[in-house]
């Protein structure tokens, strides 16, 4: 987010745009296509209202070094997976990442299989019957992913888009909401007000095909 995590404390390109008043607002926004082979869009200085439906729901940051927010809860179907933890909204991460034990619990409930200790695959015929993932972010804002959102079809195979990660215990439990989440929700990074906003992408573009 800022030069706080830069080794040399240099301004980021976006901070330089803000400092030099090159953009209208200290905001940048991501629109990622459901079809990963299609072009997405990064907008500096505002939002593109043609890319999403409804109103943008804003969640305050809990850490200004990263785009980190409070994740008040996560449910997989009827199962409570975790609560009162942190999440980072990150376009640089492809999947949904979290603690290995929690991801393993979700994968087991879905019937996904871990391949060579790296990624999960799942029977493509299960997509329509998979339960929803419900994320409750800071302020009680709820965001939902259906099976079609978190299963990626790649070359005839279906990838269960969760990834287990190990973080130092001092960091506490943390989840990374990567491109799988951002393909479902147009995402606004509001540097000025220290918040992240999300709104559903246009309903007509609702299927993920890679």
pTM of the model: 0.87
- pLDDT attached to residue 1: 52
User: Residue 170: phi, psi to the nearest 5?
Assistant: -65, -20
How far is it, in rounded angstroms, from Cα 35 to Cα 39?
Answer: 8
pLDDT greater at residue 75 or residue 166? 75
* pLDDT classification of 168: cutoffs 50, 70, 90: confident
* Residue 175 backbone phi and psi in degrees, to 5: -120, 150
The 10s digit of each residue's pLDDT in 97-149 is 999 999 999 999 999 999 988 899 999 999 999 999 999 999 999 999 999 99
Residue 84 dihedral angles phi and psi, to the nearest 5°: 55, 50
Domains of the chain: 3-200 (2.40.70.10)
């Amino acid at each position: 987010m800022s030069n706080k995590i830069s080794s040399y404390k240099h301004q980021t390109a976006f901070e330089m745009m803000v400092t030099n008043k090159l953009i209208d607002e200290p905001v940048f926004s991501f629109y990622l296509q459901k079809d990963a082979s299609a072009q997405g869009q990064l907008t500096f200085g505002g939002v593109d209202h043609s890319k999403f439906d409804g109103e943008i729901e804003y969640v305050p940051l809990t850490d200004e070094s990263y785009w980190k927010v409070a994740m008040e809860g996560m449910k997989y179907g009827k199962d409570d997976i975790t609560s009162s933890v942190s999440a980072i909204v990150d376009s640089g991460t492809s999947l949904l990442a979290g603690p290995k034990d929690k991801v393993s619990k979700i994968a087991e409930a879905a019937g996904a299989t871990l391949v060579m200790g790296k990624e999960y695959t799942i029977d493509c015929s299960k997509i329509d019957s998979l339960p929803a993932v419900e994320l409750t972010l800071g302020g009680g804002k709820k965001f939902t992913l259906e099976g079609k959102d978190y299963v990626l079809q790649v070359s005839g195979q279906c990838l269960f888009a969760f990834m287990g990660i190990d973080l130092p215990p001092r960091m506490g439990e943390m989840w990374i909401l990567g491109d799988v989440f951002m393909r479902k929700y147009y995402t606004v990074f509001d540097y000025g007000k220290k918040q992240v906003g999300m709104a559903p992408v246009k309903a007509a573009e609702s299927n993920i095909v890679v």
